[in-house]
Amino acid sequence: MTEREMTIAEILKDPLIRQVMRADGVSLRQMRQLLRDAARARTAERHACAFPGMVAREKASPRPEA
């Protein structure tokens, strides 16, 4: 059996997660933002592992401001 990760929409609809959010005083907006931030960080981390040289160069030479 193959397991997959839940999507953000599935997480936010899950009754148990909603109950814990309610108990902790976390709004849907806060949880959605937390999950999006975590997904972005995870993607960046995977990119850094797959392309370590590129990430090092990007850090060494900052992007010009627009």
11-50 pLDDT, tens digit per residue, is 999 999 999 999 999 999 999 999 999 999 988 887 777 7
Distances (CA, A) of 64 to 6, 15, 38, 39: 37, 46, 26, 26
How many domains is the chain partitioned into structurally?
1
Q: Is residue 47 part of a domain?
A: yes
CA distance 2 to 61: 42
pTM of the full structure: 0.62
Q: Is residue 30 part of a domain?
A: yes
Q: Is residue 21 part of a domain?
A: yes
Residue 16 contacts residue 24 (beta carbons within 8 Å)? no
Q: Which pLDDT does position 52 carry in this prediction?
A: 65
Q: Is residue 53 part of a domain?
A: yes
Tokens of 28: 């849907």
Q: Is residue 12 part of a domain?
A: yes
Q: Is residue 15 part of a domain?
A: yes
